[in-house]
Amino acid sequence: MIFRHIEDWDDAYANGPNIASGDRWPNAWVEPAANFRRDLEQAGRAKLDIAYGSGERNRLDLFMPEGEPVSLVVFVHGGYWRALDKSYWSHLAAGPLAHGFAVAMPSYTLCPTNSIAGITREIGAAISHAAELVSGPIRLTGHSAGGHLVARMVSASSPLSPALQQRIAHTVPISGLHDLRPLMRTQMNEAWRLDEAEAASESPVLLAPMEGARVTCWVGGNERAEFLRQSELLANIWVGLGARMAYVCEPDRHHFTVIDGLADPHHPLTEALIG
C-alpha cells in the first residue's frame, strides 16, 4: 500500500470545504434537534441542562425512553474541541431510545478556554454523573472530537473510577481523532495549544486500552483520508493490546452524514452501539 504524502495538514483535516454543500452543517442539525427536544420535553421524557460540574457549560441533557430505561447511552459531541454544544445532536438519541435506552448528551468547556486534557476530565465527570441517574451497563459513543473523548474514557488513563469502568459495555467512536500529534501541524492548534507532552498523553493510540475494553471504530467511506486512517489505526493498535475491536467503514457516508444512523432504531450503527 502506498500512502499519499501530506503537505497541507489543514486541508487533510478540513471537512466542510471538501464536501459538496458542506457549509450546510452544522446548521442542518439545529431544527431537527430542537424539534426532538421539544417533543420529548412535552412528553415529560427530557431532563435538560442537568449540572455535572461548576463550569457554565458543565451541563447535560438526559432523554428517557418510554418506561424504565434498560441502560444508558452517552453521546459526546464533536466540533474539534473548540465549537458547538449538546443542542445540535438531540435527535440522534432517537435510535437508542426506541430500544429502551436512556441517552445523555453533555456539553463541555471549549478550547482555548479549556485544554483537551481538561475536556477529557470534564467528560469523565459528565459520564460519572449520568451514571448516577441511570443504572446498568453503559455504552459510549461520540463523533469526531467526541470520538476521541469516548476512546479516552476506555484507555488505561481513563478519568472514570474503576467501578464505573466496569460498567462500560461498549464504546463506539465515530470518525474519531485518536492520534493528536498530526493535529499539532494545523492552524487549529492555536486554539488547542497542544504540545508534544499533551498530544502523547491524550492520544488513545499511544495509550493502552483499559482491561476488558470493547470498541467499534466507525467511519464514513467518503471521509478525508486522515479520518479513515485514524479510525483504522486505533482498531489495529488496540486489538494487539488485548481489546475486543471492530472497524466499520460505512459506504457513501461523509463526516457529517456518518452519524445519521443513530437517529434510526434499525440502522446498523444503532444496532452495533446497543448490541
Domain boundary assignment for the chain: 47-274
As a whole number, mean pLDDT of residues 9-17 equals 93
Q: Which residues pair with 168 in a beta bridge?
A: 138
Percentage with pLDDT > 90 across the chain: 95
Q: What is the arithmetic mean of pLDDT over 224-240? A: 97
Scanning 16-56, the segments in alpha helix (DSSP H) are 27-42
Q: For 105-134, what is the mean pLDDT? A: 98
Query: Has domain 47-274 been given CATH number 3.40.50.1820?
Result: yes
- Cβ partners under 8 Å of residue 21, min gap 6: none
Of 98, 100, 141, the C-alpha closest to 123 is: 141
Query: Does the pLDDT of residue 3 top 80, yes or no?
Result: no
Of residues 142 and 5, which shows the higher confidence score?
Answer: 142
Q: Is the pLDDT of residue 153 over 60?
A: yes
Q: How far apart are CA 79 and CA 1, in angstroms?
A: 31
Residue carrying C-alpha cell 466507525: 218
